[in-house]
Chains A and B, each alone.
Chain A
């Protein structure tokens, strides 16, 4: 869908009919992505607000409950995600240089990290599930829970875990979406689709999204796993 009026720009054929030229299109994409990330911030924001309120209200209890979370697992996950962000950044750089092999390589690393993150999350969650620390009528609190945490009432524990599951769950959902989107992007690179090989912007957009997902976790990790007394 190129416009008739080619300005002699070699990327003009990439331009959709509503845009004048390649610059306008690229800038629109990038502004659009940033606006989307703003909506994402507000989306998570409401949950962060709820977190702040209840942490404020129940700080001593939350402190005891949080000892039941495995900060090592969480820490590994943080490292894994940070590394995946680096990989995506390098993939974007390769895309700018039109280095197809580089892009595919770094995106593969990203995907492995993302999958690793989800596997670790799966172990964490299923461990909790087996202990009965799971949302719903059957929420069990006591047996199998870390020593200090046992002293807290089951209701407050369930409130803590409501926040925990909602926020890490919503984040996990974003990781899954990221895996799908990066998968599609890799496929396009693999097939040598000129929409991505001749234009780095789509890769950059996916990169922006992935950095955002990463950033959310950077906040979630200390808030849940590393509470001060």
Chain B
């Protein structure tokens, strides 16, 4: 892709500079950094922390549900627990994590820039995130919220006596951190591309971050003002959502989902970008249908704004509105399907390598397909009336958000970890964790489809009247335990690799892309000199790669045979 052949590590033409990790060791040099890579690391740690908190809440929920009468908490505490889980996972983890960690780290490098367009805005984004996060945590320490992550009025605006206002102010501020990131990406992708990095040479990862950023800057302000109106309603009795004054509480739902449906694509589009990169790199083949995948990202961004009403089929919206939203929801599934087909076709006749990131990508494919297809059940008016507000919805969105976003994130993290840290982790442990997560995930959430179909409502703390559900709940809790273990394993071997992992070198995977031409870990300005791009993107030759691969495999087999022979001789 670049002028330099990335396979041969030629002698550097420049005096080496310290990597971004070595360039300054004080705490201040981290907390006041403008370097997109350091900010990415700050985000990596902080989003990881919130993911941990959110997971603990999830564990508590699952524990509660192992028995029909509820094992652990009072009803009120249970409400606060699932609200905490939702608020933390959505606002503090799923929305920011891929753009702010992997996006921050990679967007400038992949387009050949030294940094994002606005480094200080980038740092401000992290501080906003932290301030908002701390407010949300303070609200939890003061008693928490019991509204769920959706904050529906009039419960949130009039009746709930929990810490709604503080939590909303926190979410409002976190929204700005997200807006700052989106704004930065848009300007960077438009204006900072290296010479020769034309739009049709942009990695699909960049395209999906671009689409995500557009959604972020269009949708986030709307939810921000909406949440603010709820706070104002609690503080000053303004009436915009207040039925007492003739306001419409359902308007809140419209405005909320006008953000939150596009927000599900804020969560999953960057993940899809990662999968495009992984599929191509580990099939050693140009992505099949580059233009279609790039275009489908934009199509998702556009159509995603027109389907919010599918969350409101039973909320008093008119039948005709429901009809149109149902139809459009079917339409929005098309670009997602295009992506899945194209990824599959990318593997066809590729030289597929089953290394850890690829295993994660394959797991993503399986889970995302289930999540996406069940979305269609929910978009169908008649079935949704039965399934809405049941565990079927819970299972659906966990398949797309955990199976989609989080698996893609882990795949991406494993792919670029050597770039970020300069070290390799043990591949076999990586594969093991991916498989444990896949199994644990399905065990947790597949039973929830059945539960929901049978009628188990979401957000209930007990099911004493339907003890026959216990079997599925116990399966689900057992699965959650496996899943939790699966998430912990990478924590250990990745930390281990920081000190003890073998050095990665510039391009441990033999992948294409500008990020694999720079040092691992990169220097502060990423490039010694601005790269000039003179090749198409994903410039792989799968047949040649496959020949090489076979030669390597043969050599390895020979080695093993020889080894066995010498051992045999010793016996």
Contact = CB atoms under 8 A, between A and B. Distances in A.
B217 interface: yes
A43 B240 CA distance: 15
A72 interface: no
29 contacts: A17-B114, A18-B113, A18-B116, A20-B530, A24-B192, A27-B191, A28-B187, A28-B190, A31-B190, A32-B183, A36-B183, A38-B218, A39-B218, A39-B221, A47-B225, A50-B229, A50-B251, A53-B248, A54-B247, A58-B246, A136-B237, A137-B237, A139-B237, A159-B242, A159-B246, A162-B238, A162-B239, A165-B238, A166-B232
Contacts of B220: 39, 42
A133 to B, nearest CB: 13
A158 B239 contact: yes
A135 interface: yes
Contacts of A42: 217-222
Given A18-B116, A139-B237, A163-B240, A39 B245 contact: no
A2 to B, nearest CB: 13
A137 B236 CA distance: 8
B119 A18 contact: yes
Contacts of B239: 155, 158-159, 162
A65 to B, nearest CB: 12
B117 interface: yes
A155 B246 contact: yes
A27 B179 CA distance: 20
B118 interface: yes
Contacts of B221: 39-40, 42-43, 45-46
Contacts of A163: 240
A40 B217 CA distance: 9
Contact of B245 (A20, A27, A162): A162
Contact of B191 (A28, A49, A137, A158): A28
Contacts of B225: 43-44, 46-47, 170
A165 B315 CA distance: 29
Interface in A50-103: 50, 53-54, 57-58
A54 B248 CA distance: 9
A17 B187 contact: no
A46 B222 contact: yes
A43 B222 contact: yes
A46 B226 contact: yes
A163 B233 CA distance: 12
A205 B222 CA distance: 24
Contacts of B245: 155-156, 158-159, 162
A42 B530 CA distance: 37
Nearest to A157: B245
Interface string B182-193: 010011101110
A20 B417 CA distance: 29
Interface of A: 17-20, 24, 27-28, 31-32, 35-36, 38-40, 42-47, 49-50, 53-54, 57-58, 135-137, 139, 155-156, 158-159, 162-163, 165-166, 170
B238 to A, nearest CB: 4
B255 interface: yes
Instruction: Please list the 7 inter-chain residue pairs (A to B) with the smallest Cβ-Cβ separation, ordered nearest first.
Output: A18-B115, A43-B221, A162-B238, A42-B221, A135-B236, A159-B239, A28-B191
Interface of B: 108, 113-119, 179, 183, 186-188, 190-192, 217-222, 224-226, 229, 232, 236-240, 242, 244-248, 251, 255, 525, 530
Nearest to A134: B236
B372 to A, nearest CB: 27
Nearest to B526: A18
Contacts of A38: 217-218
Contacts of A156: 245-246
Main secondary structure of the interface of B (DSSP, over half): helix
A155 to B, nearest CB: 5
B218 A32 contact: no
B217 A31 contact: no
A43 B224 contact: yes
Given A39-B221, A158-B239, A159-B245, A166 B183 contact: no
A46 B186 contact: no
Given A43-B221, A43-B224, A45-B222, A18 B236 contact: no
Given A18-B113, A42-B221, A162-B240, A31 B186 contact: yes
Contacts of A47: 225, 229
A28 B246 contact: no
Contacts of B229: 47, 50, 166
Contacts of A166: 229, 232, 238, 240
Given A36-B183, A43-B221, 16 more contacts: A18-B113, A28-B190, A31-B186, A39-B218, A42-B221, A45-B222, A46-B226, A46-B255, A49-B255, A50-B240, A53-B248, A135-B237, A135-B238, A159-B245, A162-B239, A166-B238
Contacts of A139: 237
Contacts of B226: 46
B514 to A, nearest CB: 16
A162 B143 CA distance: 29
Contacts of A43: 221-222, 224-225
A163 B229 CA distance: 10
Contacts of A36: 183
Contacts of A27: 191
A35 B217 contact: yes
Contacts of A137: 237
A39 B232 contact: no
Contact of B217 (A17, A39, A45, A170): A39
Given A28-B117, A53-B251, A58-B246, A18 B222 contact: no
B119 to A, nearest CB: 7
A83 B218 CA distance: 30
Contacts of A158: 237, 239, 245
A104 B389 CA distance: 60
A163 B525 CA distance: 49
Contacts of A40: 221
A50 B525 CA distance: 47
A170 B226 CA distance: 13
A206 B187 CA distance: 18
A114 B220 CA distance: 29
A58 B186 CA distance: 41
A220 B456 CA distance: 48
